[in-house]
Structure 1
Amino acid sequence: MRRCAKCSDKGTIYLPEHRLSLCKTHYLEWFESRVEKAIKSFRMFSKEDNILVAVSGGKDSLGLWHALWKLGYKADGLYINLGIGEYSELSEKKAKAFADKIGKKLHVVYLKENIMDIPTLKELQSRPACSVCGTLKRYYMNLTAKKLGYSVIATGHNLDDECAVLMGNVLSWNIDYLVRQYPVLEEGNGFVRKVKPLCLVSEKQSAMYAFLSGIDFVEDECPYAVGASSISYKLIMAKIEEESPGTKLRFYLEFIRKVRPMFALKQNVKLNPCQVCGEPTTGDVCSVCRLKMRLEASKAGMKQNF
């Protein structure tokens, strides 16, 4: 029987990649210390910053918010209601209940009130639902943070998420995306700083933290995520990790340390304020405003090729 590495109690959680056995109390402390390590190692933010945590109602984002709260950071939440029926209703309910539990603000943005809900958009255009959803969430996260005066946006992307994205970008050698693969996207050119404090913890570790912390989260994945390539990449990495613990962390950190610096020299994208909304874009009009224009044209009876 394994004993906790920090005390004499029975070790209820074993972390093979760290060869570490911990009891419940010390696991929670370990997880929070990993979040703190990521924050400090990548210089994400300080105790003086006003942080806006993008929450979905799931284990990762609510777990992140909980950890930041426990660590003493000033962090409120932002929930973007995508209008995906019962899934979005339940997710918002969980997010609101958690905000009340820790006594923090939760700002809610309804996609339907600003442009259109995801199910309707999915029917009107040919892009995958995840693609247009990601674009809209990034847009309204940045817009809301600036409007409400938050200096940092924190998202719940964990190590598995980062490895899946990295694998996909390496397989296609998508240099533009590899350049941006980093736990911190600095502020500037109309963007608020974006950070990923869970980048050093796995999805299993995040789920365990949420469960042991008593967080009531949505367990179901978004119905539109079914069949996403990122899920396949996660399964591949999970199989490798099972046979060789520590591979995921090594794959990610060695890219950050050794490979990304070579790509970082290529960062020369010029951004301009969108002529319609003022948000940063590489063209004259941002993708969200172009989408709004196409939707308005469609409503007016004009034939559009979505």
Structure 2
Amino acid sequence: MRQHRLALCKDHYPQWFVEQTQRFIEKYRMFTRQDRILVAVSGGKDSLALWDVLWQLGYEAEGLYINLGIAGEMAYSDQSEQAAQNFAEQRGVKLHIYRVEEQRGETVPTIAMRTHRGRQKPCAVCGLIKRHTMNQMARQLGFNVLATAHNLDDEVSFLFGNLLSWNLRQIPRQSPVLEAEDGFVRKVKPFIRFSERETAAYSIVRGIEYIEDECPFAEGSKQLLYKDLLNRLEEKQPGVKLRFLIGFFNAMEQGFIHPIEDEQGEVILNPCPSCGQPTSTGGLCATCRLFEEESR
């Protein structure tokens, strides 16, 4: 691992990985042993590795899998769900499953095809529904922390994209921890200092069986392009991605980057009349509006 100036064998690598995760959890005060943690799992290497680490560390952590109904030749969503179920059964941990088609009557690909937002960008529909569902399920099930397995490559590609477009509203929200607000549970990202290769290595050494295929909708994604560009830079300058992200976090902590004040003052959140989730609009939240548009 050139970026860490460290070489480890397969026996000591998992131990180092777990210890580094715990250090990062403590550094950013993500959660304690008294918190109830819901881990968003996709069946992939990152999320199952995160659940495995928290399980080893003895945290009260259960999993949530959201079946989006993505089919195709490989039955992507069903295979991913099976990988998550196998993991949970092998470790005796609890997995909660939310199937969009059962709850909403349509799969995410169908919704994407029938809505203006989805026709332009299917991933936008998927992301909106997943964020809504994760928070909704965490609240309903009594969890106060939602953990996602975003890794270093994810975070630097998001940051790079936001900087390219000068998305000044989203940039300050990119943080290891988003504190709880009215109607929103605390969101944490314990893996954002690990690269995809590092989480993959951990999963392989630990014998975690995960789905290796990318989502079929990911092809052509800007995030994949940004990741490729940043990986090329990493080859030339080992550690540059980690320095980029940590430098950003340090600038946030020192007050050089801060949220934009809304011209209309403090944003008031109201419960959505359909689902009860908080929304800044006076009516339906963005997710429920999406389903209303689909049903017309």
How would you bin the TM-score normalised by the shorter chain? over 0.9
2:180–2:187 CA contact under 8 A, matched in 1: yes
CA distance in 2, matches of 1:135, 1:118: 10
* TM-score after normalising by structure 1: 0.90
**What is the aligned partner in structure 2 of residue 271 from structure 1?**
269
**What is the aligned partner in structure 2 of residue 195 from structure 1?**
188
CA distance in 2, matches of 1:196, 1:254: 17
Alignment partner of 1:215 is 2:208? yes
Alignment partner of 1:262 is 2:260? no
1:255-292 alpha-carbon deviations (Å, 9 max, x no partner): 11115733324355432222332211121220111112
Shift in CA distance, 59/170, structure 1 to aligned 2, threshold 3 Å: same
Task: Report the residue type matching 2:155 in the other structure.
Answer: E
2:68–2:77 CA contact under 8 A, matched in 1: yes
TM-superposed deviation, 1:119: 1.6
1:185–1:193 CA contact under 8 A, matched in 2: yes
Report the number of matched residues: 283
3-state SS, counterpart of residue 164 of structure 1: helix
1:38–1:199 CA contact under 8 A, matched in 2: no
Task: Report the residue type matching 1:64 in the other structure.
Answer: L
**What is the aligned partner in structure 2 of residue 119 from structure 1?**
109
**What is the aligned partner in structure 1 of residue 132 from structure 2?**
139
Task: Report the residue type matching 1:250 in the other structure.
Answer: R
1:136-171 alpha-carbon deviations (Å, 9 max, x no partner): 001111111111101111011001000000000001
Q: 2:242 aligns with which of 230, 249, 252?
A: 249
3-state SS, counterpart of residue 262 of structure 1: coil
Q: Which shifted more, 115-124 or 75-84?
A: 115-124
**What is the aligned partner in structure 2 of residue 110 from structure 1?**
99
Shift in CA distance, 129/265, structure 1 to aligned 2, threshold 3 Å: closer
2:157–2:227 CA contact under 8 A, matched in 1: yes
3-state SS, counterpart of residue 230 of structure 1: helix
Q: Which shifted more, 127-136 or 160-169?
A: 127-136
Matches within 5 A, 1:180-191: 180-191=173-184
CA distance in 1, matches of 2:63, 2:39: 5
Shift in CA distance, 289/67, structure 1 to aligned 2, threshold 3 Å: same
Mark the structure with the bigger radius of gyration: 1
2:14–2:205 CA contact under 8 A, matched in 1: yes
**What is the aligned partner in structure 2 of residue 74 from structure 1?**
60
CA distance in 1, matches of 2:278, 2:23: 31
CA distance in 1, matches of 2:208, 2:289: 39
CA distance in 1, matches of 2:161, 2:179: 23
Task: Report the residue type matching 1:99 in the other structure.
Answer: A
3-state SS, counterpart of residue 264 of structure 1: coil
3-state SS, counterpart of residue 32 of structure 2: coil
CA distance in 2, matches of 1:277, 1:80: 17
> What are structure 2's unaligned runs of at least 5 residues?
none
Alignment partner of 1:49 is 2:44? no
**What is the aligned partner in structure 2 of residue 150 from structure 1?**
143
> What are structure 1's unaligned runs of at least 5 residues?
1-14, 299-306
2:51–2:61 CA contact under 8 A, matched in 1: yes
Q: 2:85 aligns with which of 96, 108, 113?
A: 96
1:38–1:197 CA contact under 8 A, matched in 2: yes
CA distance in 2, matches of 1:289, 1:257: 37
Identity across the alignment (%)? 48
**What is the aligned partner in structure 1 of residue 47 from structure 2?**
61
Alignment partner of 1:227 is 2:220? yes
1:175–1:263 CA contact under 8 A, matched in 2: no
Task: Report the residue type matching 1:56 in the other structure.
Answer: S
